[in-house]
Structures are given as C-alpha cells and as structure tokens.
Structure 1
Amino acid sequence: MGEISMNYAEAEEYINQIPRFSKVKSEENVDEILALFGHPEKKFAYIHVAGTNGKGSVCAFLDSMLRMAGKKTGLFTSPHLITTTERMKINGQNISEEAFTEIFEELLHVVKAREKAGHLHPTYFEWLYLMAMLWFGRQGIEYGIIETGLGGRLDATNHIAQPVLTIITSISYDHMEILGSTLTEIAGEKAGILKSGVPVICDGSEPEAMAVIRKRAAILHCPLKVIEPEQVKILLNRGKNIDFLLQDRYDNKSYRIHVQTEAVYQTMNGSLAWMAVKELQKQDSELQQTEDGVFLKGMAHMHWPGRLEELLPGVYVDGAHNVGGIRKLRESIAASFAGRPVWLLFAVASDKDYGEMIRILCTIPELKGVTVTEIENYRRTDLETVASIFRKNWHGYVGHSYNINEAITTSEQQAAKYPNAVLICAGSLYLAGSVIEALQR
C-alpha cells in the first residue's frame, strides 16, 4: 500500500468534511466494505446498544466490568467530547493517532476505488464505524460494545446479523425529524436492533415504548429482561458516590451496587449494564467463574466523562442535550445538591426542543442565575433567542456571552458569590466538550 501520505490532522479534517447523513439507505455499502476486509466485526462477540439517553454510560459500565473480569474489550461510542480518537477504545484506551491514521489511509484506498466503480462514499458515522471494526478485529478483542449512532433500525451498526446481546436504554423524544414524532415511532426505530433469538435487556421506564419493544421481542423470540424504575432503589447518596439496590426479578436476587457519581440517573444505566453482564455469564464459561465482587469493582471504577462530572470543586459538566436528559439532570441536582445554590451555564443545538428543556431547568428550586452561550458548531442556537426563553420562564438573572471561555469565567465568578454553590454546565455535548477542553487548558 505504500507509505502513509496523511498525518492525523489531515485524516481528521477529511473525515470532518464527510456529510453526516445520506439520502440512500447504505447498510449494504457498510457490509460490502467490511466483507473486503474479511468481516472483522464477526471476529468478536458483538454487544449492540441503542436508546435515546444513557447509551454511552451503559456501554462504559459494561466495558469496565468485562475488563475487570480480564476480558479484552473494544468500545465504540459517539459523539466525542474533544478528539475523534475517543470514539474507539481498546481496554479503555483511545486509539492512537498513528493507528487511526494508518487505518484511515487503508480505508481511503478502498473507498476511492469503490467510488470509481459507482459505489457510495460512507457517511461520517459509517466511516468511523468501519475504522473501529477494522481496528477491533485486528487487535483480537473478545467483546465489542457498540453504540448505535442514531435510532437503530437503519443505523450503520445494525448490519450485524447475530450479536450476542442487545440493550435498549431509556427512550424519550429526540431526533424526531428522523425517528418519528411519538414514543411508539421512536421505540420502533430503536427496537430495530433486536435479532431473532438474541437476548435483550431494556429500561422499562416508558410504558408506551416498552409495548413496542415487547411486541418486537415476542415476534423474534428474543429472551427479554426489563428493569422497571421501582427495582432500582438508592440506599445512600453521599454527593460524590451512590449506593443502590438492584432487585433482579428474573433470578430473584438483590445486588448492592456502588457507583462513583453524583448522577442518580446512572443507577438505572448501571443496572442495565449489570443485567447485561449477568446475561453474558450464561454464554461465557470464563465469566461464569467470575465472582460478583469483580463486577462490582468494575462498576465502582467506571468513569465516563461529561456525565455530571466534577471538573473543579463545585464545577460540573453534564451532556444532557434533550428533554429526557435535562429532566434526569434536574432530578440528580435535586437529589445530590439539595439546598445548594445553583448557577447554570447553558448552550443548546438548534434541532432540540430547547423551549421545554429551558422550562424544566427553570424549575430548579435553588437556581440563582444563568449564563447563556453558544456551541461552536453549525447547529448552534442564537443565544439571544435562548436567553429570551429563560427570561420568559424565570425572573432571576440571565446573562450571556458569545465566547465560551468568557462565559465559563463569568459563571464561576457569579457562582462564587453564593456559599457552597455549584456551577452546572449543560444543554449540549458540544458545550460539555468545550468546557472540559477549556478547563484542561
């Protein structure tokens, strides 16, 4: 193939120029390209995860437990917060820029040759998925934990015929222009990842969505395990970590689980991952020999950036970017920061229901002030529009700054005026990444 002719920055720039969506269903295109490389995605146990919120966290919990049990894991998630290499990890480590560039170049040769023959160019997400599968297959991973990009039924990740397990996390309203305007329609798209006879673990919080998933699972004869919210009970919330009890109705057992987070929504995500690893134990003789204490240690050690993550004392960032995520963030603020003054730094993408997101945030009891900024992305929402909606729903201080660095500094200074205050940065994963990057500098 010759020498590498691109460096990492050039490879990343090429990928960033690729269109995000295709008007043509291109699942066959992905499968054909992987066939040319010997179907690397079939060389490991493929775990497929869909849902509206919590996918990345469930994947990270499961990855941490499997690694603690001695398994070699590949983790494919999206979006990234700072660098594209975050999207693919082996044993918790991002792909190196060198490996990324090598695989990029190899894929580029194949795609360009196929384009000359009249085939489609992969979309942005498909390209990164293809790269991850090539890397995972060659590195000899045992388990690949694969998060869908958008929906499930038509997602690039859904070409796989026989995953070992599927997981569906919480379902709420997001990407309605693509997935449908009702929970029934959205759930139908997510349930598209179910495969004949393959076990599925599911968050049962939304009855309307569950009805769709149950019906689909019955048609495909998928063993289905549903976790209802009442099965997950918080025992201790120390602010920095949470102990909770998961009642497994299928094995008639209870598990006390410890997680290092302030986010109460992670108790359900952790529960889904726990039930998933219990299902995998039935398929893997080595995992059958693993004691629960090993998995519990994996749960306790899990760290997933941007999920009510404390970056500095009293400064938190959360990737909540839709109505469901904001609702869960508000619940976590009420539970973990009860009585503490709250300052909010907020930015949002234009394709979200930001009016409802803002309305929910304005009901935070201890909210003292808001700083509105804009994400550095073509999907940004004008901050004047956002600020005006805050002012309509809330009568406290609402400031704004077009510069994220300035917005962070201003928010920190304002929050510092209130004893024991917390600064919460939320509304977009793009904002979360920008805040993390700014504070790291």
Structure 2
Amino acid sequence: MSEMSTTFSAHTLIAAYSKGWLPEKDQNYKAAIMCLNKLHPALSNESINLEQNQKEKFKDTTYYLKKSGLTLEKLDELSVIHVTGTKGKGSTCALTETILRSHGVKTGFLSSPHLISVTECIRINGVPVSERLFSNYFWKVWNKLELDKETGYDLRAYFRFLTILSFHIFLGEKVDAAILEVGIGGEYDPTNIIRNTKTVGITTIGIDHTSILGTTLEDIAWQKSGIVKERANVFTGVKQELCLKIIKQRCNEKKANLLEIPHVNLDNWTTKEVVKINTPLSVCLAYDWLTRTTKNKINGIGINILSNQNNFHKFLSTVLKQLENFQFPGRCQNVKIRNLNFYLDGAHTIESIILASRWFIESTKGSSNEKVLVFNLTGDRDPLKLMKVLYENCKLSLVCFTPNTPYIDDDLNSNFNNFSVISEVDKMKNVTKIAESCRNNFKLNSMVFTHILKVFEYISKRFGNEEVDVLVTGSLYLIGATLVALEKFSSNTRFE
C-alpha cells in the first residue's frame, strides 16, 4: 500500500481513477444542491414502495421527463448499457465504462449513491461532471419543472431528478454510450424509462430492500429483470435456478437473448474481490456494445462474444491490461495515513460483506498488526448477520460503532451533507441500538463514538506508533462520511 500525503483531498479520493480532478467552485452549484436536497434526502433513492402504486410512480417519471423538455423519442437516441443486480452493479458499470474508454468511446455514467459530491453520480469519460456543468444543466431542468405548480414535486424524487438530469447531460454532451446503474430494483426504477437498450447486465440476485422489492428471491428476480428490452442481449452472473427461470421467462417475453457469462479465475490478477467477480460480466457488456457499433468492430470477431470461448478469452486478455490500475472509490479502496492502514468498502449485504472480509484478510495476510473494525449500516438490514461474518473471520482487536457523521462542524460544506439526513440524536440512537445488539451476541471489545473523526483520533492515541489495519464497512454512506473525516484527520497535527 502506497503512502499518501497527509494533505490529500477527499475529492481526489473520490476520483482516484481520474487523478487530479477537482470540482470548480460555483455559487450557482451551492444553490442547486440546496434545491436538490429539498426534493428528498439522498438516502432515499428508494422512491418506489410496495405499499404505493408503483406503476403510477413510474408514469410520473415519464411526466417529469416531458416537462423537463425531453421526449421519449429523443431519449431513444442514447445508446445505453443498463445494469442491475443486488450487489456489484456499480463496480460492473465502472469496469465496463473503463473498457469502453480504452477503445476511444466517449462515455456517460450514471451511478448512485455518491460518496461525497453529488457530481460523482454523473460522469463524462470517467470523470465526475464539474460543478459548473452540473449547475448549468440543473437550472435548465429545474426551472422548467418549477413552472409545474399543478402537480408539484414528488418529495421522494431525488434519484428521479438525477436520472432525468443525467439524460439531459448525456444528450447535451453527445456521449457515444451511456452506462446506467439501476437505483433500486429495475421494473419501476426511474432509469427504466429508457426504451432502446440493446445491452443489459444483471449481476447477482440476493435478499435486499425487501420493503421495496419483495421478500423472496423470485420477487426480486422479477423486479431486476424488468430492465430487459426487446431483442436485447442480456448477460448475467445469476446462478440460482429459481431466479434464472424468471429471468428466462422475461427474456422470452421480450424476444431477448439470455447469455450466461463464463467463469474465469482471476485470483492471480487481483486481490480485489469485486473486480475479480465483476470483470467477466463487464467484458461481455463492453464487447457486446462495441461490436454493435459499425465503427468499433474488434479484430473481426463476431458479434456474440460467447459464441466462441476463444473470442472471450482473447478479448479478456487485452482488457486485463487496461484494467490493471482500476479503482472504484469506496469499493476495496486502500488509504494509508501515518501508521494507520485503512481498508474502505461499502459492503452492506451478507454476500458483499463476505467478499469485503475476504479482501481484508487477503490484503493483511502475514501482517501482525492490530485489526480494528469501524462499522455502521442503514435501512432495515440485520446487523447480526453482517457482524457474524466479520467477527468470525477478521480477528478483530476492537470494533468501533459510529453514525455516518464525519465530524461535528456547522461549516461543513452542504455538498458533503447529503448523508446527514436525520438528526444527530436519532443517528446516535440507531448506532447505539446496533452496537448493543452486536455486543449481546458476540464477544466484542467495542466502543460507540459520536462521529468518525473521533474514532480515528482514538485509534491513533490508543495504538500510538504501532501499525494498525482499519476496516471500514457496512454502508456506502459510512464510506462517504469516512472520506470526509479522513481529509480532516490527515490535516490534524495534534488532537485535543
């Protein structure tokens, strides 16, 4: 792990894969963020609910798209790669986008949630859009919707607005390919308003967001496969027979081609589990899109990469060289500050926590350093299931529970506050409840803190000059707040 300067920027961490990016400061951008946050907290891109009329919510997206000045016909001009899944969809999109850029494709990329700055959600050629570009498009869309006084805004429309905004940006900036990560589910997700998708990816299916998507794998598989479009090529790493049956049914209904990706052992290439697992699917998605465009035929290989295993492995060997330095902030991310080795991963499902723990174990193999866990989670997830994996596998010396609060500071930039949507009192109640539940079930040497900076200050004092391996996981919002806290922590020369 390389030593990082103690004056590194949190923004630089966020765009680690595009070294040197820093957003422009723009007053109109600050005003835009204030308006955006009024729609609904970033924590709730979960804008669909089983108790609500999902179809009506989906119709609202079409309505707002039209009010913003875009028609569905205009949206058809976007060449889209659409990706859903319970875990790995963000990494898959980022890997796919990296491969396409390496072949000279101008890319647009919509993802969620952001870690620090909302501009991370909308990228052009791998780089978060500048604050100035974001605010320019924001006000064009916002002002048109502001004229609509009759219906008003859906107060759970934060992610919907970002989705519509991304369409305006991608069309306005004339991207060649738009890679869209589904917010939640698929069938009624705002991104699914697109109609002309030829390349579709479904990463995995597991139990998550049960209050929104349903409580069974079959329910969730139906929701996820809702992004399949007419005659699309659908690539998936899903293995459960029940889920595959439903995906096949939905593909048959749309006359789409369902293609299972081959298994590839990449253990000797990288220790990052999310990269190892998601690279094969990303290769298929990128290859499929490239070979669908007449200007990007690859070495004369046929359109269907899976029609010949040699084709797949030939393209894969080229791609691995292009992905050697791939990084996706908040997923298997390493940061070193003084004697503290931070391992950051936004895992928040049982499957992703297992992968994060494997990565941590592999990365610290042979190390006699003390192991510290910084943990929190959001939503209705069961902390005991996640903690059981970490407790049994990571040889933890100390567990630190903390809310997703970087530090207490009234001047903390509002752009960094999208994860601070409930009161500090309520956040402390939640994290205390999680800590008590875990303590009662596991023999933890643990403490509860009021914010993340205090955690890092405590670890630094407690272990002095000893090297410490610190795993931060459980929530992407925890990772975002951690990156902000690390910037402050790295610049502090003394602690009170």
Q: TM-score, normalised by structure 2?
A: 0.77
Structure 1 runs not aligned, ≥5 long: 237-242, 244-258
Q: What residue identity is the alignment partner of 1:314? A: N
Q: Does 1:317 align with 2:344?
A: yes
Contact 2:274 2:332 in 1 (8 A): no
For 1:141, the equivalent position in structure 2 comes to: 175
For 1:252, the equivalent position in structure 2 comes to: none
Q: Which runs of 4+ in 1 moved over 6 A?
A: 415-418
- Report how far residue 31 of structure 1 moved: 2.5
Within a 5 Å distance, the mapping from 1:172-187 to structure 2 comes to 172-187=206-221
For 1:59, the equivalent position in structure 2 comes to: 93
Q: Does 1:359 align with 2:388?
A: yes
Inter-CA distance 142–114: structure 2 relative to 1 (3 Å threshold): same
Q: TM-score, normalised by structure 1?
A: 0.86
For 1:18, the equivalent position in structure 2 comes to: 39
Task: Report the Cα distance in structure 1 between the residues aligned to 2:461 and 2:395, rounded to whole angstroms.
Answer: 17
Within a 5 Å distance, the mapping from 1:8-407 to structure 2 comes to 8-19=29-40, 20=44, 21=47, 23=52, 25-35=56-66, 36-39=69-72, 40-116=74-150, 118=151, 121=154, 123-227=157-261, 231-236=263-268, 243=269, 259=270, 262-289=271-298, 292=315, 295-312=319-336, 314-340=341-367, 341-376=370-405, 377=420, 378=422, 380=427, 382-407=430-455
Q: What residue identity is the alignment partner of 2:469? A: V
| Cα distance per residue 1:367-413 (max 9 Å; x no partner) | 22211111233384622222223323332411221121011222355
For 2:474, the equivalent position in structure 1 comes to: 427
Contact 1:344 1:411 in 2 (8 A): no
Task: Report the Cα distance in structure 1 between the residues aligned to 2:343 and 2:359, rounded to whole angstroms.
Answer: 12
Q: Which stretch has the larger CA shift, 405-414 or 198-207? A: 405-414
Alignment length (residue pairs): 410
Task: Report the Cα distance in structure 2 between the residues aligned to 1:143 and 1:413, rounded to whole angstroms.
Answer: 49
Structure 2 runs not aligned, ≥5 long: 1-25, 300-313, 406-419, 489-496
Task: Report the Cα distance in structure 2 between the residues aligned to 1:64 and 1:152, rounded to whole angstroms.
Answer: 23
> Percent of aligned positions with the same letter in both sequences?
26
Q: Which stretch has the larger CA shift, 396-405 or 213-222? A: 213-222
Q: What residue identity is the alignment partner of 2:264? A: V
Task: Report the Cα distance in structure 1 between the residues aligned to 2:126 and 2:93, rounded to whole angstroms.
Answer: 11
Task: Report the Cα distance in structure 2 between the residues aligned to 1:89 and 1:152, rounded to whole angstroms.
Answer: 21
| Cα distance per residue 1:334-390 (max 9 Å; x no partner) | 333335453101111142222211222211152222111112333846222222233
Inter-CA distance 333–151: structure 2 relative to 1 (3 Å threshold): same
| Cα distance per residue 1:253-295 (max 9 Å; x no partner) | xxxxxx5xx4223211111101112222331233323684653
| Cα distance per residue 1:58-110 (max 9 Å; x no partner) | 01001111001000000000000001111001001211111211212111222
Q: What residue identity is the alignment partner of 1:266? A: V
For 1:437, the equivalent position in structure 2 comes to: 484
Contact 1:264 1:335 in 2 (8 A): no
Q: CA RMSD in A?
A: 2.4
Task: Report the Cα distance in structure 2 between the residues aligned to 1:333 and 1:206, rounded to whole angstroms.
Answer: 27
Q: Secondary structure at the match of 2:404?
A: coil
